[in-house]
Amino acid sequence: MLKINNLSCQKGYNLLFSQLSFTVDLGGILRITGTNGSGKTSLLKILAGLSVQEQGTIFLDNDAVKSEGYQAEIFYLGHLSALSVELTCLENLKFLTALNQSVEQPLLLDALKQVGLEGYENEYCAKLSAGQKRRVALASLILSKAKIWLLDEPFTALDPQGVKMVEQHIEQHCKQGGVCLFTTHQDSALKNQKVLAL
């Protein structure tokens, strides 16, 4: 269980949210909604251990945020693709996955195929469309062994087929006992999702 208790976040003089408490059980999907500037990205970064809350606690079972046990179970995908345009799709994916684990090349190639980039393995990311770049980043999600997926606008720049592909991977991950928290300004067809409005 992911348990958030009495969480507050402030940016400068702006209090984005306060006394925020919720839990997400294994297998759960939580969609985080709100207007621009309401704190959706800030919340995900806090849950990922990339930012610090003003107050409150975050636990995954008995592991607190930023602890080794907690961080080992977290995969964070920001709304920017974080790719090097000087590297190929395959090289970028290898770099992204090497941050957490060693992945054999056949698995890297299969992940690119699953996101619709078969034949683009050796294409430099500088030549890709925004949607294709997003798919490279999403391929790293497929390879992740983390239990908790934190996805900031995962459907950005994707066509309807790409959105459906991401939703299928989220549903499969959660059916296997994973957890997904995501933000989006788009409609989502994900089943059994709960909504948290900031």
On the question of pLDDT at 113 being above 80, the answer is yes
Averaged pLDDT score across all residues of the chain: 93
**Residue 70: enclosing H or E segment and its boundaries?**
helix 68-71
pLDDT above 90 as % of the chain: 82
**Residue 21: enclosing H or E segment and its boundaries?**
strand 14-24
> So what's the pLDDT on residue 12?
87
Band (186; pLDDT cuts 50, 70, 90): confident
- For 1-73+146-156+179-198, CATH number out of 3.40.30.10, 3.40.50.300, 3.30.230.10, 3.20.20.140 equals 3.40.50.300
In this structure, are residues 136 and 125 in contact, taking their beta carbons and an 8 Å threshold? Answer: yes
Q: Could you give the dihedral angle defined by the CA atoms of residues 14, 181, 53 and 75, in that order, rounded to the nearest 10 degrees?
A: -130
> So what's the pLDDT on residue 169?
94
| Digit-coded pLDDT (tens) for 132-165 | 999 999 999 889 989 999 999 999 889 999 999 9
Which residues are CB-contacts of 174 (< 8 A; sequence separation ≥ 6)? 27, 28, 29, 180
**Which phi-psi region, left, alpha or beta, contains residue 129 (left: φ > 0; alpha: ψ -120 to 50)?**
beta
Tokens of 194: 């709960």
Per-residue pLDDT, averaged over 55-84, amounts to 93
Considering only residues 167 and 79, tell me which one the structure prediction assigns the higher pLDDT. 167
